[in-house]
């Protein structure tokens, strides 16, 4: 019998083939089990305890603040600086700090004073919280804010730190600079000024439109288009949302599948009418090894319908006419004015690239090193500096298997909840908490006594089930927010969707 193979999202821009080769289910299950055995006991205990708090309904903010997680001024906001952040960058961020300090809560009272922290390199999230008086698990806004914005590169404050902190807090990252850690002061200025302008505006030209962009060129992207992006667009169309202001609003949607070309994405981002408030993309993300030109600038770029697909690609580098990257925004000569836009990018490496792949040490066919240093992708950086409020994307691979569940069907509810929360005007850092809940649930099913890992150890035939849960768990963990986690859409100042 032929061994079952797993195929993965993400395409190597130098070859046009998958950047992670197809792997057998049996070998991958073995890698997952060996990786788990190598985790420190304290790490395993932390995840178990977090799940228990989540299951008891006490993960999040303290009881007296529950139901107010959307109210940034009530539950608190703060900045976590990396130790190498230049003073010029801090001066730009200080404008946003002053802006947040002036916020009033939902009762009209002055909000909490923003907190400022400095995180040392290689510090873990638990130590960071506990050294500042914050108990394990539930967030006490009197001790530490619920909303925390990391300012710094992932080489200084790691992606793992962000993931771990985000399970308990609403976290985003603001990093503008190159892969080597050189900060760009002007880009911080651009982002901060545009966020404050949007939040102070009496009206916006972004309409109540949500655009879904999903090229369909191979088995995985056809699935992403027809079982994820398309159904989401249909579910959102015409739904009635209640905003934090208790207003009822509706959005129109547009879904681009066969028309999901680079030119169409350019048009979606530059049009003067029917400007979408949300852009949801589901595509292959581009991978380039560090020896390739435009490695840092094009990693995580969105492959579009212009690309022929790996099945018919005859080899060689994919030209940049077939994908959309931050360099195309650079070349746009000011056409990209993205103020008030939210972006969700379901694509490998769309938000960032880790230094190594999670299972690389256990599997010889996986790339041992993805980059010399971990870095934030260039495309979201450029989108944020042109006015995008926040970019929700992936660090490392995105897994289509995460929503395809044999015997049940395609489970899009988790992503639907995130989209609905964002369109309702919930701050993006809290809206994406649905990913953390899914992560903890799936992790528990794997690691609990007599769970999937125990069954695998006892040589029961659970290879496929273990791999399915692992990919879904890692997909949920892989999402991060780039930008201020407190930003949110303002549907009450948006015009109704025009036709």
State how beta strands 390-394 and 342-346 pair.
Answer: parallel
299-314 burial, b for 16+ CB within 10 Å, e for fewer? Answer: bbbbbbbbbebbeebe
- pLDDT higher than 50, residue 411: yes
Measured between alpha carbons, how far is residue 64 from residues 56, 108, 132, 209, 231 in Å? 16, 18, 21, 35, 37
pLDDT digits (tens, 9 = 90+) for 299-309: 999 999 999 98
pTM of the model: 0.94
Residue 438 phi/psi, 5° resolution? Answer: -65, -40
Among 193-202, 232-241, 459-468, 477-486, the range scoring the smallest mean pLDDT is 459-468
Among 67-71, 206-210, 290-294, 311-315, the range scoring the smallest mean pLDDT is 290-294
Q: Please state, in angstroms and rounded to a whole number, the distance separating the CA atoms of residues 87 and 443.
A: 40
- pLDDT higher than 50, residue 2: no
For residue 293, the model assigns a pLDDT of 76
Q: How confident is the model at residue 88 (pLDDT cuts 50, 70, 90)?
A: very high
For residue 362, the model assigns a pLDDT of 64
Report the pLDDT averaged over residues 473-484: 92
The domain defined by 44-199 carries CATH number 3.40.50: yes
What is the sign, positive or negative, of the torsion defined by CA atoms of 451, 455, 456, 457? Answer: positive
For residue 459, the model assigns a pLDDT of 72
Q: Please state, in angstroms and rounded to a whole number, the distance separating the CA atoms of residues 499 and 423.
A: 19
For residue 230, the model assigns a pLDDT of 96
For residue 75, the model assigns a pLDDT of 96
Among 27-36, 206-215, 248-257, 281-290, the range scoring the smallest mean pLDDT is 27-36
- pLDDT higher than 80, residue 54: no
Report the chain's mean pLDDT, rounded to a whole number. Answer: 88
- pLDDT higher than 90, residue 490: yes
For residue 312, the model assigns a pLDDT of 87
Report the pLDDT averaged over residues 130-150: 90
- pLDDT higher than 80, residue 199: yes
The domain ranges of the chain are 5-38+201-493, 44-199
Measured between alpha carbons, how far is residue 384 from residues 102, 178, 390, 484, 489 in Å? 23, 15, 7, 10, 14
For residue 401, the model assigns a pLDDT of 64
Secondary structure letter of residue 105 according to DSSP = -
Report the pLDDT averaged over residues 117-138: 88
Report the pLDDT averaged over residues 461-489: 89
For residue 417, the model assigns a pLDDT of 92
Q: Please state, in angstroms and rounded to a whole number, the distance separating the CA atoms of residues 176 and 185.
A: 8
């Amino acid at each position: 019998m032929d061994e079952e193979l797993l195929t993965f999202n993400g395409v190597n821009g130098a070859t046009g083939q998958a950047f992670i080769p197809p792997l057998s289910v049996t070998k991958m299950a073995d890698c997952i089990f060996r990786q788990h055995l190598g985790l420190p006991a304290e790490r395993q205990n932390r995840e178990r305890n977090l799940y228990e708090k989540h299951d008891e309904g006490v993960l999040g903010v303290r009881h007296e603040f529950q139901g107010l997680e959307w109210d940034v001024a009530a539950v608190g906001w703060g900045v976590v600086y990396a130790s190498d952040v230049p003073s010029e960058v801090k001066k730009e961020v200080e404008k946003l700090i002053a802006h947040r300090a002036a916020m009033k809560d939902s009762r009209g009272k002055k909000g909490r004073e923003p907190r400022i922290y400095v995180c040392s390199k290689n510090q873990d999230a638990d130590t960071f919280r506990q050294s500042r008086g914050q108990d394990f698990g539930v967030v006490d806004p009197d001790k530490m804010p619920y909303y925390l914005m990391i300012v710094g590169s992932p080489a200084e404050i790691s992606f793992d730190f962000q993931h771990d902190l985000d399970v308990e807090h609403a976290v985003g990252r603001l990093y503008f600079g190159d892969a080597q850690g050189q900060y760009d002061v002007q880009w911080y200025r651009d982002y901060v000024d545009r966020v404050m302008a949007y939040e102070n505006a009496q009206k916006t030209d972004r309409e109540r439109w949500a655009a879904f962009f999903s090229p369909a060129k191979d088995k995985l992207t056809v699935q992403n288009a027809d079982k994820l992006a398309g159904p989401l667009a249909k579910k959102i169309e015409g739904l009635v949302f209640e905003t934090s202001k208790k207003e009822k609003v509706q959005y129109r949607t547009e879904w681009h599948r066969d028309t999901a070309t680079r030119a169409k994405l350019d048009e979606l981002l530059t049009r003067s009418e029917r400007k979408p408030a949300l852009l949801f993309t589901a595509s292959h993300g581009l991978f380039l090894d560090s020896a390739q030109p435009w490695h840092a600038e094009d990693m995580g770029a969105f492959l579009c319908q212009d690309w022929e697909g790996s099945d018919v690609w005859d080899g060689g580098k994919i030209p940049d006419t077939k994908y959309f990257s931050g360099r195309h925004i650079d070349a746009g000569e000011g056409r990209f004015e993205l103020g008030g836009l939210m972006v969700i990018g379901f694509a490998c490496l769309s938000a960032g690239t880790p230094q190594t792949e999670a299972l690389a040490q256990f599997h010889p066919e996986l790339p041992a090193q993805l980059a010399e240093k971990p870095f934030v992708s260039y495309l979201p950086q450029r989108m944020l500096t042109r006015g995008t409020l926040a970019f929700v994307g992936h660090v490392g691979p995105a897994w289509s298997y995460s929503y395809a569940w044999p015997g049940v069907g395609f489970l899009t509810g988790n992503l639907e909840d995130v989209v609905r929360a964002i369109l309702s005007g919930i701050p993006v850092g809290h809206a994406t908490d649905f990913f953390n809940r899914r992560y903890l649930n799936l992790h528990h099913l794997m690691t609990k006594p007599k769970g999937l890992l125990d069954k695998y150890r006892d040589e029961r035939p659970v290879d496929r089930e273990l791999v399915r849960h692992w990919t879904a768990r890692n997909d949920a963990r892989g999402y991060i927010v780039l930008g201020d986690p407190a930003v949110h859409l303002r549907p009450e100042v948006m015009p109704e969707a025009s036709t």
